[in-house]
């Protein structure tokens, strides 16, 4: 009886470790893909923005936004006095993909959002200054 019980617990232990290792590998793969996408705004088309959980956020000034932005992007100027008030109105459970002109303001906005509890706020490392895709005005 003890031998069967020992084998049963060993089996459960092996299954648990296998499951954890498999989830970890999948999670690592998913994070690597996300980092690849976020390495350049040129990869913005890799994100499915038809999925309402994904939001494209342009944190440049309204004037810069009006000169040309990526279709579907929401504009909230990170340098405006009411930035934190505006992001407080957003759903913190959604995935935010943030860009600016060259990456600096997007990084700042991402940090501010993460401090406010946005766990899925990510910035593109570059910005509109190098973007060669389609823009709307």
Residue 131 lies in a domain: no
E-assigned strands of the chain? 54-58, 74-75, 95-99, 121-123
Residue 22 confidence (pLDDT)? 46
Number of independent structural domains in the chain = 1
Q: What is the rounded average pLDDT of the residues 91-111? A: 97
| Element of type H or E holding 87 | helix 83-87
Residue 38 confidence (pLDDT)? 78
Averaged pLDDT score across all residues of the chain: 84
Q: What is the rounded average pLDDT of the residues 12-16? A: 46
Residue 67 lies in a domain: yes
Residue 130 lies in a domain: no
Distance of alpha carbon 98 from alpha carbon 31, whole angstroms: 17
Q: What is the rounded average pLDDT of the residues 30-57? A: 83
Pick from 136, 119, 126, 129: which is nearest to 44 by CA?
126
CATH number at residue 73: 3.40.250.10
* Domain span holding position 101: 39-123
Q: What is the pLDDT of residues 48-89, one digit of tens each?
A: 999 999 999 999 999 999 999 999 999 999 999 999 999 999
Residue 94 lies in a domain: yes
CB 72 within 8 A of CB 78: no
Residue with the bigger pLDDT between 127 and 3: it is: 127
Residue 39 confidence (pLDDT)? 82
Residue 27 confidence (pLDDT)? 55
pTM: 0.76
Residue 54 lies in a domain: yes
- Return the top range by mean pLDDT from 6-10, 38-42, 83-87: 83-87
Q: What is the rounded average pLDDT of the residues 19-42? A: 60
């Amino acid at each position: 009886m003890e031998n069967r019980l020992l084998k049963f617990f060993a089996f459960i232990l092996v299954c648990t470790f296998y499951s954890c290792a498999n989830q970890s590998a999948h999670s690592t793969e998913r994070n690597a893909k996300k980092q690849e996408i976020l390495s350049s705004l040129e990869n913005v088309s890799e994100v499915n923005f038809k999925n309402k959980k994904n939001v494209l956020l342009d944190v440049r000034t309204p004037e810069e936004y009006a000169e040309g932005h990526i279709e579907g992007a929401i504009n909230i100027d990170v340098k405006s006095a009411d930035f934190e008030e505006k992001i407080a109105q957003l759903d913190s459970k959604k995935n935010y993909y943030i860009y600016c002109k060259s990456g600096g303001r997007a990084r700042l906005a991402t940090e501010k959002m993460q401090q406010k509890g946005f766990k899925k706020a990510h910035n593109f490392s570059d910005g509109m200054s190098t973007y060669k895709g389609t823009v709307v005005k």
